[in-house]
């Protein structure tokens, strides 16, 4: 293996992929600017199409050979594909939430292009091809389903899903994809095999405040939390707010309020295990000032990367809800919407990233990801690693999403370093 010091001292200065990365960011973000602030490049919409065309033109000009698979993932390859060695892949997504920021996803794609180009230019003899993957439909904002592209190639998306999810205008996912020139009915043909790639890397902004506030520049993601989701419908009794005495009420909102606090307290108790619990939806009926609320609907999101902690939290939340509803004499309808297992990322790649960071003198740490990413699906087929870089105050999915260039550069260097080492093997 070539010592890394040699690569960094000698040839790496020849081509700066980081500057290219900034250029890619700028070009993609020419599209989908929202007049109300931020970027709205929702999956399979016109803005998404224009950004993808711009990106593909740029990648083509940089010498990538391009392919778009049946579900819209863009795959750009540089290097010696004929040698029979599986490519080393890296990437993320460029679609956004409504009024999202300029870095969520796009930064990972931009860094992937910069790194692939830099490595190829500086070390043309590397045996492995490099493959930049731009996943389609990562955000759930339009269709209510996330990670369409990465789920499809790893077998987590079904044709039934494509027909059951639709956007606010009633357009079903399948039709939106067909109108985009794709053929989701053939998605099986784009399936990623365990032998298809040597490894996959995704760089992403943290979307939380930990790195920014702690002064650590690189987060090596240990595991990605998959949410457990619950829907809770409480039926009390709507009554006149003036005429119904306090001791005769069945106030659904009062029960829901106790549940909200119970969920919070379970989250706080499990804090040290990295588990978080949130009531993100609370709707009441009829919702009038002079009516005791008769119905309340809650949605609860529970996440973490430690299975025992998640199990404990789930059981405690469930029994707290049952206890509260029983003691208040209100009817409960509890629905477990989804229960996801945390995805542990590849141990070998995590160690490799740690070594690279140490050798480069970077400030780094292992950390969990509370948010879902394409990497969690890719990880089911391919050894996968994820690098988090700081975003200012952790603000994301927001027009004020911001990064400091000098604080994301270390993550880029860690990516390039890790790729170079893995390609020497």
Binding site for Zn ion (CB under 5 A): 104-105
C-beta of 424: minimal distance to Zn ion in Å? 30
CA-wise closest residue to 193 among 382, 347, 67, 386: 382
Shortest gap between Cβ of 106 and Zn ion (angstroms)? 9
93 annotated to bind ligand: yes
92/228 with CB nearer Zn ion: 92
Residue 314 vs 388, nearer CB to Zn ion: 388
Minimum CB distance to Zn ion smaller for 104 or for 251: 104
Reference 122, options 20, 18, 17, 11; nearest CA is: 11
Q: Are 176 and 95 in contact (CB under 8 A)?
A: no
CB of 92 to Zn ion, least distance (A): 6
∠ CA 202-207-209, rounded to 5°: 125
Binding site annotation covers 303? yes
Task: Output the smallest distance, CB 396 to Zn ion, in A.
Answer: 8
* CB burial readout 70-102, b (16+ within 10 A) else e: bbbbbbbbbbeeeeeebbbbbbbbbbbbebbbb
Question: Sign of the C-alpha dihedral, residues 23, 109, 143, 306?
Answer: negative
**Spatial contact of 130 and 88, defined as CB atoms under 8 Å apart:** yes
- How near is the Cβ of 138 to Zn ion at its closest, in Å? 6
- Taking the complex as a whole, how short is the minimal distance between the CB of residue 155 and Zn ion, in angstroms? 21
Structural contact between residues 115 and 422, judged by C-beta atoms closer than 8 angstroms: no
Q: What is the DSSP string of 363-403?
A: -EEEEEE-S--HHHHHTTTS-EEEEEE--GGG--SSTT---
Q: What is the DSSP letter of 14?
A: G
Instruction: Please list, in sequence order, all residues whose beta carbon lies within 8 angstroms of the beta carbon of residue 196, skipping any fewer than 6 positions away.
Output: 86, 87, 381, 382
Residue with CB nearest Zn ion?
105
229 has binding-site annotation = yes
| 139 known member of a binding site | yes
Q: Which is nearer to Zn ion, 32 or 105 (CB)?
A: 105
Q: How far is the CB of 370 from Zn ion (least distance, A)?
A: 12
The whole-angstrom separation of Cα 92 and Cα 106 is: 7
Q: Residue 165, CB half-sphere, CA atoms under 13 Å: how many?
A: 20
For Zn ion, the closer of residues 174 and 412 by Cβ is: 412
- The answer on whether 258 is annotated among ligand-binding residues is no
Would you say 79 or 137 has its CB closer to Zn ion? 137
Instruction: Select 222 or 401, whichever has its Cβ closest to Zn ion.
Output: 401
239 is in an annotated binding site: no
The counts of H helices and E strands in the chain are 13, 15
* Binding region for Zn(2+): 93, 104, 139, 204, 397
* Binding region: 93, 104, 139, 204, 229, 290, 303, 397
* Binding region for allantoate: 229, 290, 303
């Amino acid at each position: 293996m070539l010592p890394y010091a040699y690569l960094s001292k000698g040839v790496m200065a020849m081509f700066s992929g980081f500057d290219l990365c900034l250029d890619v960011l700028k070009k993609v973000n020419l599209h989908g600017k929202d007049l109300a602030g931020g970027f709205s490049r929702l999956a399979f919409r016109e803005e998404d199409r224009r950004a993808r065309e711009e990106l593909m033109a740029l990648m083509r000009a940089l010498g990538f050979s391009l392919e778009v698979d049946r579900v819209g993932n863009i795959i750009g390859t540089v290097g010696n594909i004929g040698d029979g060695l599986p490519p080393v892949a890296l990437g993320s997504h460029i679609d956004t939430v409504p009024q999202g920021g300029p870095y969520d996803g796009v930064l990972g794609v931009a860094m992937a292009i910069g790194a692939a180009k830099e490595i190829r230019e500086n070390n043309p003899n590397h045996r492995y091809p490099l493959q930049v993957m731009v996943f389609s439909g990562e955000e759930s904002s339009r269709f209510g389903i996330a990670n369409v592209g990465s789920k499809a190639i790893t077998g987590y998306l079904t044709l039934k899903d494509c027909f059951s999810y639709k956007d606010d205008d009633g357009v079903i996912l399948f039709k939106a994809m067909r109108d985009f020139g794709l053929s989701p009915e053939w998605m099986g043909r784009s399936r990623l095999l365990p032998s298809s790639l040597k490894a996959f890397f995704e760089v992403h902004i943290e979307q939380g405040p930990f790195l920014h506030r702690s002064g650590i520049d690189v987060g090596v993601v240990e595991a990605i939390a998959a949410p457990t989701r619950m829907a809770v419908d409480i039926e009390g009794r709507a009554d006149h707010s003036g005429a119904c005495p306090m001791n005769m009420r069945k106030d659904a909102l009062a029960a829901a309020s106790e549940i909200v606090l119970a969920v919070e307290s379970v989250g706080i108790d499990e804090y040290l295990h990295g588990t978080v619990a949130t009531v993100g939806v609370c709707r009441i009926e009829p919702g009038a000032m002079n009516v005791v609320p008769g119905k309340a609907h809650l949605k609860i999101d529970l996440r973490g990367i430690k299975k025992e902690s998640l199990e404990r939290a789930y059981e405690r939340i469930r029994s707290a809800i049952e206890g509260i509803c029983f003691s208040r004499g209100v009817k409960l309808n509890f629905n477990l919407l989804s229960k996801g297992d945390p995805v542990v990322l590849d141990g070998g790649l995590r160690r490799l990233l740690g070594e690279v960071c140490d050798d480069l003198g970077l400030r780094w740490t292992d950390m969990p990801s509370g948010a879902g990413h394409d990497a969690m699906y890719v990880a089911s087929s391919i050894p996968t690693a994820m690098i988090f870089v700081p975003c200012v105050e952790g603000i994301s999915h927001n027009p004020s999403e911001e990064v400091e260039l000098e604080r994301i550069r270390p993550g880029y260097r860690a990516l390039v370093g890790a790729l170079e080492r893995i390609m020497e093997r």
